[in-house]
Chain A
């Protein structure tokens, strides 16, 4: 299965500090590791939850477990870095969305989110945009809806396809 993985600069896993090999070598989760300890990656629709420094196209092998915001597999390897990933462009798209939301619901709360998002980096902007959507629309589901919109933006801007 082809999926995507966010990493910190230098192909480093953001939570474990594991340095991923970039030569196409396979990486396996430890044998007998507890549930949830496999290699995590994203379908395109899940990308917005995990924004990071580098985006990589990955191949997953073995039984893939589907979670709400990620997928998990026993083995994976990096295929290629998505060099089109532009955090600034994504952040600007989130700012523009929040500007629309603030125009839709001109409240002090939305004005605060707008001020905050303009100073934020891409991961924070992604989150603030989703929070602003909830505030503007008054529905909890707006959070996931906004994440879905962000994922569609990423797929379009970066020309992403799952295999």
Chain B
């Protein structure tokens, strides 16, 4: 069921704003609407928490912590991805 909600962001808009929100880049008015959405939307709360965890975990990975095989695999994937662009 879709709800007609005046002036309230949709879940899709929230997803698009997540990075700016986590980086503290949203203007006060947008941040307020973002957080009001989180009050009543379980899905967006979960998504935001997943993003926070991903950023936290990614921040813990250093080049030195990777095995040579993993590093080689990442380089291979990156080259393949660049080649498709």
Q: Residues of A at under 8 Å CB distance from B?
A: 14-15, 34-37, 49-52, 67-70, 112-113, 116, 123-124, 126-128, 131, 134-135, 140, 143
Q: Pick the contact of A50: B7, B28, B36 (CB < 8 A).
A: B36
A131 with B3: in contact, given A36-B28, A67-B32, A69-B32 (CB under 8 Å)?
A: yes
- Tell me if B1 and A123 are in contact (CB < 8 A): no
Would you call B80 an interface residue if the criterion is a C-beta within 8 Å of the partner chain's C-beta atoms? Answer: no
With A14-B38, A36-B31, A134-B5 given, can you name 17 additional A-B contacts, CB distance below 8 Å? A15-B38, A35-B28, A50-B36, A50-B39, A51-B39, A52-B39, A68-B32, A116-B1, A123-B40, A127-B39, A131-B4, A134-B4, A134-B6, A135-B4, A140-B7, A143-B6, A143-B7
- 15 residue pairs bridging A and B, Cβ less than 8 Å apart: A14-B38, A36-B28, A50-B36, A50-B39, A52-B39, A67-B28, A67-B32, A123-B39, A126-B40, A127-B39, A131-B3, A131-B4, A131-B5, A134-B5, A143-B7
Most chain B CB atoms below 10 A, which of A15, A34, A112, A135: A15
- Tell me if B24 and A34 are in contact (CB < 8 A): yes
Within 8 Å CB of B35, what residues of A?
15
Task: Identify the closest chain B residue to A37 (Cβ).
Answer: B24
A123 to B40 alpha-carbon distance, docked (Å)? 5
Task: Identify the closest chain A residue to B42 (Cβ).
Answer: A124
Q: How large is the interface on B (under 10, 10 to 19, 20 to 34, 35 or more residues)?
A: 10 to 19
- In B19-38, the 8 Å CB interface with A consists of 24, 27-28, 31-32, 35-36, 38
- Tell me if B38 and A70 are in contact (CB < 8 A): no
Measured CB to CB, the closest approach of chain A to B71, in angstroms, equals 33
A49 with B36: in contact, given A34-B24, A67-B28 (CB under 8 Å)?
A: yes
Task: Identify the closest chain A residue to B1 (Cβ).
Answer: A112
Measured CB to CB, the closest approach of chain A to B54, in angstroms, equals 16
Within 8 Å CB of B1, what residues of A?
112, 116
Within 8 Å CB of B36, what residues of A?
49-50, 69
Task: Identify the closest chain A residue to B5 (Cβ).
Answer: A131
